[in-house]
Amino acid sequence: MSLLVFKRRLGLSVLATVLLLVVSGLLFAPPVFAAETAVQETVSDAKYMWVCIGAAVAFSAGAISAGMAISRVGTAAMGALSERPEIGSQALIFIALAEGLVVFGFITALMILGKI
């Protein structure tokens, strides 16, 4: 597979992901704000919007960074396992450490949402 084909597929997958996020945001976000009362509408909407955006950024940053870390650590671990199969358990530990980034992002998002 050439580099141009890979870049094209990568660009299409990123575009599809962004479109899916936008469509799901348009479909699922309005019910979150629909339960507000008319008196608190102007103050609460802005507050809840920024809290939800902050929690989403915290979780997505953890998930994206964990994916990047696991891809690099997993590649290196598979290369090391091909040369020395006895280090499989050590490679698994490094992959699990990279997976901990998702947990930290999730906990941070829950802490942000707990402030509402």
CATH code for the domain in which residue 82 is found: 1.20.20.10
Predicted structure pTM score: 0.57
Please give the residue range of the domain that contains residue 16. 1-35
Instruction: List pLDDT tens digits, range 41-51.
Output: 555 666 788 88
- The tally of domains found in the chain comes to 2
Q: Please check whether residues 109 and 95 belong to one and the same domain.
A: yes
Q: Please check whether residues 59 and 82 belong to one and the same domain.
A: yes
Q: How far apart are CA 7 and CA 4, in angstroms?
A: 5
Q: Please check whether residues 68 and 106 belong to one and the same domain.
A: yes
Cα distances from 63 to residues 39, 51, 57, 83, 84, in angstroms, run: 37, 18, 10, 30, 30
Which residue ranges of the chain lie beneath pLDDT 50?
A: 39
Of 101, 105, 25, 113, give the one whose Cα is nearest residue 59. Answer: 105
Q: How far apart are CA 89 and CA 94, in angstroms?
A: 9
